[in-house]
Amino acid sequence: MIPDTPLRGLAAHRRAIAALTALLLPLAALLGLAAAAPAHAAESATAGYTKASDWGTGFEGRWTVKNTGTTTLSGWTVEWDFPAGTSVTSSWDAQVSGSGNHWTAKNTSWNGSLAPGASVTFGFNGTGSGSPTGCKLNGGSCEGGGTNPGCGLHSTNAVCPSATAVLTAA
């Protein structure tokens, strides 16, 4: 048996610290990596539809895209569906195209960049009497994170959570 000496106690203390460090180092590294990962601001924007006028055989529709985030939005694409018999006949301030009942509007070269809080409106003339459904903005919800198309700040849709898109009819 080896007598207990101050050096032996110091060596045991160092081994205990080394073992504890070996156990905690991977955890600290994971936490450090998570803290060091760059934070990405969530891109947040809304798109709201308004039927500006209706003359029986046609109508004027307008979409407003608003950047509700904290970073500049560098481009936007709004997609929606119209029921059968409703279609876009002409448009302005966006490149609008359709396939069947599905419609897509993309920013032009001069109105795609939206600073935080900024908005842009594009419009179109259409035939039929239907309203848009299934709205998507840049592949996500037009409400800036919600899942109910047509919900919004001025919406009367009872199933809407607190959202920010606007869907109204004239």
Q: What is the pLDDT of residues 92-103, one digit of tens each?
A: 999 999 999 999
Query: What mean pLDDT is reported for the chain?
Result: 76
User: Sorting pLDDT into bands at 50, 70 and 90, what band is 2?
Assistant: low
With beta carbons less than 8 A apart as the criterion, state whether 91 and 105 touch.
yes
* pLDDT: which is higher, 4 or 51: 51
Which parts of 65-152 fold into alpha helices (H)? none
Assess whether pLDDT exceeds 80 at residue 79. Answer: yes
Of the candidates 53, 38, 47, the one whose C-alpha atom is nearest the C-alpha of residue 153 is 47
Partnered with residue 103 across adjacent β-strands are: 80, 98
Residue 144: predicted pLDDT: 78
Q: Kindly report whether the global pTM for this prediction surpasses the value 0.95.
A: no
Taking 60 as the threshold, does the pLDDT of residue 162 lie above it? no
Query: Which DSSP string corresponds to 55-88?
Result: -SSEEEEEEEEEE-SSS-B---EEEEE--TT-EE
The Cα angle at residue 157 between residues 97 and 80, in degrees rounded to 5: 10
Q: Which two tokens stand for residue 142?
A: 């037009």
12: number of Cβ within 10 Å: 11
CB within 8 Å of 69: residues ≥ 6 apart? 41, 42, 43, 44, 45, 116
